[in-house]
């Protein structure tokens, strides 16, 4: 049975032909192994990776998935400091590089999904926020995350692309913190992944960011060099990039690489 470890934190649909081109069969060696595989996945992947873990367990007898979700920066710090992890899925290449330069990875990381950014606002958009320029208004309570957190760095990149400066009222620990602040009415707006706005459903609204200043987010996945269940970990990675895994990710709004 899939278990969540630590804090549980979770519209670009992919055509079937795209899915087929990016996925492969699980376990090219034919081995899946058994036992528990510990998956460290960035906060924006919580819901799809919960479903991926459950599907993986249904597909293969004798395996179980334990999921730990938090900001990519926090997860890679935990792994490099010795926390047991068999798989690491990051919201950016920077923190994956931190793993490669720390504990290391068994194979080259594989990009398995992409995303875009959106402005998240309260339901009904009471302030009438129409775009990035509205976030400059000092009366707009804007929140983001610290630059070491992927969503915080991506947000700064968007502002730089747009040629604006926005002063946040608080720095959250992960993208889920940004979402929560807006949903609870403790902030007027934040910048999050498009999939987070989709996941918020009727609890929040989204304002699109123009493509010419937006950021295409790449999600890499790899097996840490000190993984204890290598065979099952590699099979899980294969499952994520398989047709089944890509279909699950697409259902949550993620696009293929």
Tens of pLDDT, residues 3-21:
444 333 333 333 333 333 3
What is the rounded average pLDDT of the residues 100-110?
96
* Residue 30 banded pLDDT, cuts 50, 70, 90: low
Is there a single domain that holds both residue 38 and residue 104? yes
Is there a single domain that holds both residue 107 and residue 126? no
Tokens encoding 171: 């720095």
Is there a single domain that holds both residue 222 and residue 105? yes
Residue 256 lies in a domain: no
Beta bridge partner(s), residue 172: 145
Is there a single domain that holds both residue 65 and residue 79? yes
Residue 257 lies in a domain: no
Confidence (pLDDT) at 59:
95
Confidence (pLDDT) at 31:
83
* Total count of domains within the chain: 2
Residue 165 lies in a domain: yes
Residue with more model confidence, 172 or 27:
172
Q: Give 106-125 pLDDT, tens digit per residue.
A: 999 999 999 999 999 999 99
Confidence (pLDDT) at 21:
34
Which residues have CB under 8 Å from 70's CB, separation 6+? 6, 7, 9, 42, 43, 78, 173, 174
What is the rounded average pLDDT of the residues 131-141?
97
Q: Is the pLDDT of residue 252 over 70?
A: yes
Prediction pTM value: 0.85
What is the rounded average pLDDT of the residues 30-44?
92
Residue 93 lies in a domain: yes
* Residue 221 banded pLDDT, cuts 50, 70, 90: very high
Confidence (pLDDT) at 163:
98
Q: Is the pLDDT of residue 23 over 60?
A: no
Q: Is the pLDDT of residue 22 over 70?
A: no
**86-87-88-89 Cα dihedral, nearest 10 degrees:** -160
Is there a single domain that holds both residue 201 and residue 247? no
Is there a single domain that holds both residue 109 and residue 124? no
Q: Can you give the residue range of the structural domain that contains 245?
A: 3-114+218-251
Residue 213 lies in a domain: no
What is the rounded average pLDDT of the residues 93-105?
96
**CATH (domain of 144):** 3.40.190.10
Confidence (pLDDT) at 24:
38
Tokens encoding 166: 């926005």
Average pLDDT, rounded, for the chain? 90
Residue 87 lies in a domain: yes
Is there a single domain that holds both residue 46 and residue 109? yes
Is there a single domain that holds both residue 130 and residue 58? no
**Is the Cβ–Cβ distance between 199 and 113 less than 8 Å?**
no
**Is the Cβ–Cβ distance between 93 and 101 less than 8 Å?**
no
Q: Give 197-216 pLDDT, tens digit per residue.
A: 999 999 999 999 999 999 99
What is the rounded average pLDDT of the residues 23-32?
53
DSSP string spanning 21-37? Answer: HH---S-TTS----EEE
Is there a single domain that holds both residue 126 and residue 110? no
Confidence (pLDDT) at 14:
32
Q: Give 153-181 pLDDT, tens digit per residue.
A: 999 999 999 999 999 999 999 999 999 99
Q: Give 224-249 pLDDT, tens digit per residue.
A: 999 999 999 999 999 999 999 999 99
Is there a single domain that holds both residue 59 and residue 135? no
């Amino acid at each position: 049975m899939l278990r969540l470890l630590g804090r549980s934190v979770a519209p670009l649909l992919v055509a079937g032909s795209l899915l087929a081109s990016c996925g492969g069969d699980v376990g090219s060696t034919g081995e899946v192994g058994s036992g528990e595989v510990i998956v460290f996945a960035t906060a924006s992947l919580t819901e799809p990776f919960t479903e991926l873990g459950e599907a993986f367990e249904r597909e293969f007898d004798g395996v179980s998935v334990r999921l730990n979700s938090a900001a990519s920066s926090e997860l890679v710090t935990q792994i490099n400091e010795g926390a047991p992890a068999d798989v690491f899925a990051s919201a950016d290449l920077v923190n994956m590089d931190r793993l490669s330069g720390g504990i290391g990875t068994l194979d080259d990381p594989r990009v398995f999904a992409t995303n875009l950014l959106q402005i998240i606002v309260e339901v009904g958009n009471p302030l009438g926020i129409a775009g990035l320029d509205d976030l400059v208004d000092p009366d707009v309570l804007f929140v983001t995350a610290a630059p070491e957190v992927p969503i915080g760095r991506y947000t700064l990149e968007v502002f730089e692309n747009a040629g604006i400066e926005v002063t946040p009222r608080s720095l959250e620990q992960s993208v889920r913190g940004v979402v929560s602040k807006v949903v609870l009415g403790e902030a007027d707006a934040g910048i999050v992944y498009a999939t987070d706005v989709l996941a918020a459903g009727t609890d929040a609204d989204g304002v699109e960011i123009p493509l010419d200043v937006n950021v295409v987010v790449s999600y890499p996945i790899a097996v840490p060099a000190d993984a204890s269940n290598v065979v099952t970990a590699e099979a899980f990675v294969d499952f994520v990039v398989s047709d089944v895994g890509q279909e699950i990710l697409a259902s949550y709004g993620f696009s293929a690489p």
